[in-house]
């Protein structure tokens, strides 16, 4: 019995060490957070300026969605290296936003009800992460 207990402790210790060294999981692709589940994307209109010399990207993405759960805030994914300079509604009015790790949280001045259209325009720029082992490890590739 003491041998089994010691073996269990060793296995649990190894598992703890292995998890500490494990690769950080990506934020996207998992279960949706509440602020991501309150809307259904209808379309994205993405306009990019890719500067290969500077290895940077600047762009604007317009998202059109329908509200499926009443809300006044949504959460979108946007890789951390991109700085957000402007967030606006469909009429061009500035919206309050907060940048998080790989996310952007956007508040609307009035609550959106089920069926309401959500239209946001996000302007951003930055240097994307370079893929250390494309295509298996995420990131951008600048050469063939």
Express each pLDDT in 75-92 by its tens digit: 999 999 999 999 999 999
Rounded Cα distance between 46 and 80, Å, is: 18
pLDDT at 3: 52
**DSSP code of residue 131:** P
Using pLDDT thresholds of 50, 70 and 90, give the confidence band for residue 101. very high
Q: What is the pTM of this model?
A: 0.76
The residue among 22 and 87 whose pLDDT is bigger is 87
Is residue 47 over pLDDT 60?
yes
Q: Which domains does the chain have, with CATH numbers?
A: 34-126 (2.60.40.1730)
- 115 sits in the region (left: phi over 0; alpha: psi -120 to 50; else beta) called left
Q: What angle do CA 43, 64, 126 make, to 5 degrees?
A: 80
* Coarse DSSP helix, strand, coil percentages of the chain, rounded to the nearest 5 percent: 15, 45, 35
Is residue 7 over pLDDT 70?
no
Strand partners, 88: 94, 121
Using pLDDT thresholds of 50, 70 and 90, give the confidence band for residue 1. low
């Amino acid at each position: 019995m003491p041998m089994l207990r010691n073996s269990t402790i060793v296995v649990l210790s190894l598992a703890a060490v292995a998890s500490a060294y494990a690769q950080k999981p990506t934020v996207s692709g998992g279960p949706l957070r509440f602020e991501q589940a309150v809307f259904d994307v209808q379309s994205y209109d993405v306009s990019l300026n890719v500067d290969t010399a500077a290895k940077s990207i600047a762009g604007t993405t317009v998202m059109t969605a329908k509200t499926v759960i009443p809300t006044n805030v949504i959460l979108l994914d946007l890789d951390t290296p991109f700085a957000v300079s402007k967030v606006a509604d469909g009429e061009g009015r500035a919206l309050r936003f907060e940048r998080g790790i790989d996310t952007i949280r956007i508040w609307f001045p009035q609550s959106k009800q089920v069926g309401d259209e959500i239209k946001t325009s996000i302007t951003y720029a930055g240097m994307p992460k370079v893929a250390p082992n494309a295509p298996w490890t995420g990131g951008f590739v600048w050469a063939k």
